[in-house]
Structure formats: structure tokens, C-alpha cells
Amino acid sequence: MYHKYEKKQLSSMTQKFTKITLLILLSAITIGFAQEGEKRHLPIIDVHVHAMKVNPAFASDMCPWFLTSMPGGDPLDEAPTFMTADCAHPLKAAKSDKEFQDALISTMKRLNMTIVASGDASVIRSWQKAAEPGRVIPSIGISNSEAMSVVAFTDSLSSGFYKVMGEVAPQYQGLSPSDMSLDPYFAAAEKLNIPVGIHMGTGGNGTINITNPKYRASLGNPFLLEDMLARHPKLKVWVMHAGYPLIDEMVALMGANAYVYVDIAGMIWSYPLEEVNNYIKRLVQAGFGKRIMYGTDLMIWPELLETSIGVIENATYLSFDQKRDILFNNAVRFFRLDESKYK
Ligand SMILES: [Zn+2]
């Protein structure tokens, strides 16, 4: 009897002990996860995102740095294609708005990201609802005076929804950014303290003469900004795509204008990787590490975010501080953001 009782007590004690151990273990694991969850990735700002409805007909997969080998061609042959999916790890194109948004928002959360987004206002609003507050900054794009009157443009900025003006892409319209038809819009942005992003340089992917006959490579020359900048000394301008490939003109313009920044969007994942790194390296080498901002030109491939961030993270020519400047600090300063809200 006694023996039995002892055994029973012993087994109940063992059970209790096991339960307690399990509880301790479980709570330790839970705390571990909670701590892991609270430890956020260092913040990143992508200053160049396009909000658009996904068109499944054009949603093809893409190999990054696809311009590494420009196709040969002849005007009597079929037009060359420049984008391929023939590589080890092509980036998958999202096939629906929901698929794209879900992937974008989850990457933004995981990498502690904020984006400046231009394009379809309904898409921007939907992203804002899904993201943490303040993480999607709306930008309004205008590239010629026919797209929107100056009054409507000023109203859109004054309403408070739009915080940024961009992407302004006069180059695709055959216009210089200093063309007087755009001047009242820049004047409005200057008056309202709105930063402006202007497309300069890249474009066309080796076939622009076939797809957009108004485009001129020469209109991507950063020097074409000078007259406009002189007329609007308080305007904060960033040159999208960093004026690639006109590095000397870009460096000279930044040297002459204290407030001109650049982003490295588009070029960072399309041109040959070594060329991209050389270009960024040259900007830093020339002393402009505090005026380079990270951007993607994100359209339909969610993984483009990681691909592009990887270029900066893996750059052997950049120090940790220089990487943080490009990925975050420079954009905080340029867009006059409250840094404490993005940690
Ligand atoms: Zn652009």
C-alpha cells in the first residue's frame, strides 16, 4: 500500500515537474519569439516606387541586370527584346494587385521599410491601409502641362495627401526639365516646400527609338536642370536614376548645387552590375555619399526590393555608415522626415 502510494505520489510529482518544465520551456520559447519579433531590421527608405494596377498580359518574369548583353539588331528584322527570364533566378512578376500588395507589405514589414510611391491613387490608398501608418508616402507625377492644370496640381498638393512631386519625366516627352511649360509646377512645389524627383538619364533599354520616338538620350543630361534650379533656388530636387550614364555632368551639377540629391533606382537592377557599382562608387568617391538615396523603380516584381537592397549591402567599397546613409539617413534629411517614427 505504502509502496503503491509512494509510487503514485512520485509519478504525480514527476508529472507536475514535467508540466512545470514544459511551461517554463514554452514561455522561454514564446519570450524568445517576442524578443525576436521586436528586434526590427534597420530602417530602409525606398524613394522610388510605382503604384500601378497589375496587367497580367505584361506581367512577365525578369532577370535582374538584363542589360548586361545588349542584343545586336537590324531595322529590317523584328524588334529586339531586351528583357529575359533566362537566368538561374528570374524575379517573378505578380499576377494580381492583391498578390503584389501582399508581397510588398510583408517585405516592407520584414525589412522595416518606408516607400515614396507615385502612380495610381487608388493603389496608393490601398497600400496605405495595409501598411503601418506613415510608411507609404504619396507622390504626384506630372510630365507635361497637358496632363494637369497648374491649379489642379496645386490643389492636389495643398490637400495634404501628396507629400512629394514625382516622377517628373519630361525626357520621355522630348522636353528639357527647364522647359518653361513646366515652370509653374516647379514654382508651386517650391512654394509649398514639396521635394521633386525628376527622371534624368536612363531609359529605353536599347530600344527606345522603336517604342517612344519622342525620347531623347540628350535630354537626360543633368546640366539641363541648371536653368530651372537657378529660377527656383529653394526647390529641393533629386535626380532619379542619378543621371546615368552621365557621371561627370552629374558630379558637376551636384558640386554646383548644394541641394541636389540623386536616387539609384532602375539602374541598380537593370544595367550590368559592375557598371552600377562603378557608378555609385564614383558618386561616393566624388564626395556625394550624403546625397545618394536608395530607390528601386519597383513596378511588378516584389523581389526587386531584396535584389536592389542586396547591391548596397554587398558593396565592398561602402562602409557601414555609407550604406546606412544611402539606405536611410539621406532620405530622412531630404524629405524632412521625423527619424524617430521610422526606427
Ligand atoms: Zn524614371
Residues 6+ apart with CB under 8 A from 36: none
Same domain, 7 and 141: no
Residue bearing cell 538620350: 217
Same domain, 7 and 150: no
The helix-helix angle for 273-285 and 304-313 (nearest 10°) equals 50
Rounded Cα–Cα distance for residues 90 and 78 (Å): 24
Residue 199 CA to ligand 1 centre (angstroms): 5
pLDDT band at 312 (very low <50, low <70, confident <90, very high): very high
Q: What is the pLDDT of residues 95-134, one digit of tens each?
A: 999 999 999 999 999 999 999 999 999 999 999 999 999 9
pLDDT band at 4 (very low <50, low <70, confident <90, very high): very low
- Name the least confident of 23-27, 105-109, 163-167: 23-27
Mean pLDDT of 60-85: 89
Same domain, 137 and 179: yes
| Residue 136 lies inside a defined structural domain of this protein | yes
Residue 38 CA to ligand 1 centre (angstroms): 36
Residue 22 pLDDT exceeds 60: no
For residue 335, what is the domain's CATH number? 3.20.20.140
Q: Residue 225 gets which letter from DSSP?
A: G
Which pLDDT value is given to residue 1?
38
Of 300, 280, 223, nearest in space to 254 by CA: 223
Of 218, 120, 236, 117, nearest in space to 167 by CA: 117
Rounded Cα–Cα distance for residues 65 and 69 (Å): 9
Domain limits for position 106: 42-70+82-342
The helix-helix angle for 97-110 and 304-313 (nearest 10°) equals 30
Mean pLDDT of 243-270: 97
Q: Which pairs count as long-range contacts for 70-74, CB under 8 Å and 24+ apart, including other chains? A: 70/206, 71/206
Residue 35 CA to ligand 1 centre (angstroms): 40
Element (H, E) at 239: strand 237-240
- Mean pLDDT estimate for the chain: 89
Residues 6+ apart with CB under 8 A from 16: none
CA angle 294, 82, 218 (to 5 degrees): 65
pLDDT band at 163 (very low <50, low <70, confident <90, very high): very high
Residue 6 pLDDT exceeds 90: no
Rounded Cα–Cα distance for residues 154 and 159 (Å): 9
Percent of the chain clearing pLDDT 90 (strictly above): 77
Residue 49 CA to ligand 1 centre (angstroms): 10
- Name the least confident of 98-112, 196-210, 262-276: 196-210
Residue 5 pLDDT exceeds 60: no
Residue 240 CA to ligand 1 centre (angstroms): 6
Residue 212 CA to ligand 1 centre (angstroms): 14
Residue 223 pLDDT exceeds 70: yes
In whole angstroms, what separates CA 166 from the centre of its chain? 13
Same domain, 17 and 62: no
Residue 200 pLDDT exceeds 60: yes
C-alpha distance across the termini of the chain, in Å = 66
Same domain, 4 and 124: no
Element (H, E) at 293: strand 292-293
DSSP 3-state of 62: strand
Residue 18 pLDDT exceeds 50: no
Identity of the amino acid at 252:
A
Percent of the chain clearing pLDDT 70 (strictly above): 89
Of 179, 189, 178, 187, nearest in space to 156 by CA: 189
Residue 167 CA to ligand 1 centre (angstroms): 7
Top pLDDT among 28 and 146 is at 146
Which pLDDT value is given to residue 38?
64
Q: How far is CA 206 from CA 13, 45, 77, 221, 295, in A?
A: 77, 29, 15, 17, 22
Same domain, 26 and 108: no
Same domain, 170 and 204: yes
Residue bearing cell 555619399: 289
In the chain, the number of structural domains is: 2
Mean pLDDT of 7-27: 46
Same domain, 122 and 170: yes
Residue 88 pLDDT exceeds 70: yes
DSSP 3-state of 119: strand
Residue 281 CA to ligand 1 centre (angstroms): 21
Predicted TM-score of the model (pTM): 0.87
Q: What is the CA radius of gyration of the chain?
A: 25
Same domain, 138 and 249: yes
